[in-house]
Chain A
């Protein structure tokens, strides 16, 4: 593989952003590869975790952010626990995801709570077909998960899965399990009534404002 390395200042710049976000000294990594040897999902990754760390050290931002690696990471913490230099790799993966979300135009995943709106999107989804890529799946899942929490105060699994399926185009994925889970009373059809919903909304909007002003300062 052949990469053109950025100038030294740019190299340092990208590494220092990630170091600041994650609180980790990425220079400490000497590429022993123990993180990748223990990673349960390394087989499916385009680049292994230690390669991602090397990209950061060399300032290769595009390479570090574009691989499926950071989206497949399940935050199992095996790498962080075993690193001989005590680097918290899972935290670094979090930082890369957050940076990616901040820099790409955040795709706004539609989210519906009414049947009519839902039907409309269901139809559109039939027309648009499948989105197979793990990055957009993980993004959609996280985004919808947090939207549910923001709206209801707690997770509402039925709403999450249905919104997620319509968005990803996997319309019937996990749906066959729905009746079984309903029978076993494992999922609720109606979200729980949390009395502090406004408080949750306040937490979300305050953080949004804070992060926006911090970003503008940078």
Chain B
């Protein structure tokens, strides 16, 4: 299996560990990722709230390379994935719009290439999930985790490709296959506030607190995410929160690929565990998942 890989800006900066663990896990499961050469930013939310044309042109400038090379695109960032897929769907529906965008990007995008999020890659019945189960080397059954999808991996339905927008299952299944104790909880698809953490901190803190508190109340040791902005909001702001008893939370926020990597027995430094702000190593040592010296 070979895919065009669109890491996106976050995976080259705040979410390097997502990039590291994605590459390590895919390599282990025989999925080949070819990074799109000289990819550019997808424009994210600032583009679609400023100009519709910009929100289509920036993603499609990247997809054109994949299409010319007959590859489907995989993006680990929820926002990049959503923008790439929405742009592709929009120009599939409207031939005039496609022409207009092709003039702007000086390309010849037809809309044939498919856009996947990383979660789809491990849950779409191509055998990766079974391979993951077979190759599992570390026992993670003592680790209680909740899967947090946030907004863009659940909504809109036709973009995210989920059966139930209120209760998506793809990450739960993957973590299950990796041998973790996946708990049910209520805040799977609640919003973390996205960039409000910069533009209106108070609102963002309230939303993050609700998510962290609910996960803790459900009995989780940690949260698994698949979006760099969700991760950084839950991880960076956690030190500012306290529970009802005045205690600080200590819930590591893993990328789901890091947990897959742990299950596959990959070395911890290949998964970027040290880069997480809430250090997950004490928890993992406590549960005898990694050694004392790691």
Of A44, A164, A177, A203, the contact of B105 (CB 8 Å cutoff)? A203
State which residues 118-150 of A face B: CB under 8 Å. Answer: 134, 137-138, 141-143, 145-146, 149
A31 located at the interface, meaning its Cβ lies under 8 Å from any Cβ of chain B in the complex? no
**CB-CB under 8 A for A77 and B156, given A72-B196, A153-B41, A155-B9:** yes
For the side of the interface on B, what is the size category? 35 or more
Instruction: Report the minimum CB–CB distance from B228 to chain A (whole Å).
Output: 10
Check B49 against A41 for contact (C-beta < 8 Å): no
Measured between alpha carbons, how far is A149 from B45 in the docked complex, in Å?
13
B14 located at the interface, meaning its Cβ lies under 8 Å from any Cβ of chain A in the complex? yes
Instruction: Write the B187-210 contact mask toward A (1 if CB under 8 angstroms, else 0).
Output: 001110111101111110001000
**CB-CB under 8 A for A80 and B198, given A149-B58, A186-B14:** no
State the total of A-B contacts with C-beta under 8 angstroms.
151
Instruction: Report the minimum CB–CB distance from B3 to chain A (whole Å).
Output: 20
Instruction: Write the B51-81 contact mask toward A (1 if CB under 8 angstroms, else 0).
Output: 1111001100100000000000000000000
Of B48, B61, B155, B275, the contact of A81 (CB 8 Å cutoff)? B155
Check B198 against A146 for contact (C-beta < 8 Å): no
Check A41 against B199 for contact (C-beta < 8 Å): no
B95 located at the interface, meaning its Cβ lies under 8 Å from any Cβ of chain A in the complex? no
State which residues 183-213 of A face B: CB under 8 Å. Answer: 184-188, 192, 194-196, 199-200, 202-204, 206-207, 210-211
State which residues 92-106 of B face A: CB under 8 Å. Answer: 100, 103-106
Measured between alpha carbons, how far is A195 from B37 in the docked complex, in Å?
9
Check A210 against B156 for contact (C-beta < 8 Å): no
Measured between alpha carbons, how far is A142 from B50 in the docked complex, in Å?
8
Instruction: Report the minimum CB–CB distance from A29 to chain B (whole Å).
Output: 18
Instruction: Report the minimum CB–CB distance from B276 to chain A (whole Å).
Output: 8
Residues in chain A near residue B189, CB distance under 8 A: 78
Measured between alpha carbons, how far is A131 from B41 in the docked complex, in Å?
28
**CB-CB under 8 A for A145 and B155, given A40-B207, A200-B40:** no
Binding site of A, secondary structure by majority: helix, strand, loop or mixed? helix
Check B198 against A185 for contact (C-beta < 8 Å): no
Instruction: Report the minimum CB–CB distance from A36 to chain B (whole Å).
Output: 14
Check B46 against A145 for contact (C-beta < 8 Å): yes
Residues in chain A near residue B48, CB distance under 8 A: 75, 94
B151 located at the interface, meaning its Cβ lies under 8 Å from any Cβ of chain A in the complex? yes
Check B194 against A81 for contact (C-beta < 8 Å): no
**CB-CB under 8 A for A195 and B49, given A74-B194, A81-B155:** no
A154 located at the interface, meaning its Cβ lies under 8 Å from any Cβ of chain B in the complex? yes
Residues in chain B near residue A142, CB distance under 8 A: 45-46, 49-50
Check B54 against A146 for contact (C-beta < 8 Å): yes
Residues in chain B near residue A200, CB distance under 8 A: 40
Measured between alpha carbons, how far is A75 from B100 in the docked complex, in Å?
26
A174 located at the interface, meaning its Cβ lies under 8 Å from any Cβ of chain B in the complex? yes
B16 located at the interface, meaning its Cβ lies under 8 Å from any Cβ of chain A in the complex? yes
Check B275 against A77 for contact (C-beta < 8 Å): no
B274 located at the interface, meaning its Cβ lies under 8 Å from any Cβ of chain A in the complex? yes
Of B52, B106, B151, B198, the contact of A77 (CB 8 Å cutoff)? B151
Residues in chain B near residue A74, CB distance under 8 A: 151, 191, 193-196
B179 located at the interface, meaning its Cβ lies under 8 Å from any Cβ of chain A in the complex? no
A12 located at the interface, meaning its Cβ lies under 8 Å from any Cβ of chain B in the complex? no
Residues in chain B near residue A203, CB distance under 8 A: 54, 57-58, 61, 104-105
Instruction: Report the minimum CB–CB distance from B54 to chain A (whole Å).
Output: 5
A181 located at the interface, meaning its Cβ lies under 8 Å from any Cβ of chain B in the complex? yes
Check B104 against A77 for contact (C-beta < 8 Å): no
Measured between alpha carbons, how far is A154 from B151 in the docked complex, in Å?
23
Instruction: Write the B24-46 contact mask toward A (1 if CB under 8 angstroms, else 0).
Output: 00000000000000111101111
Which residues of A come within 8 Å of B, CB atoms?
21, 40-41, 44, 72, 74-78, 80-81, 88, 94, 97-98, 101, 134, 137-138, 141-143, 145-146, 149, 153-155, 157, 161, 164, 173-174, 177, 180-181, 184-188, 192, 194-196, 199-200, 202-204, 206-207, 210-211
Question: Can you list 17 pairs linking A and B with CB atoms under 8 Å apart?
Answer: A40-B207, A44-B203, A72-B203, A75-B48, A75-B194, A81-B157, A98-B50, A98-B52, A137-B199, A141-B195, A149-B41, A177-B236, A185-B275, A186-B14, A199-B61, A203-B57, A207-B54
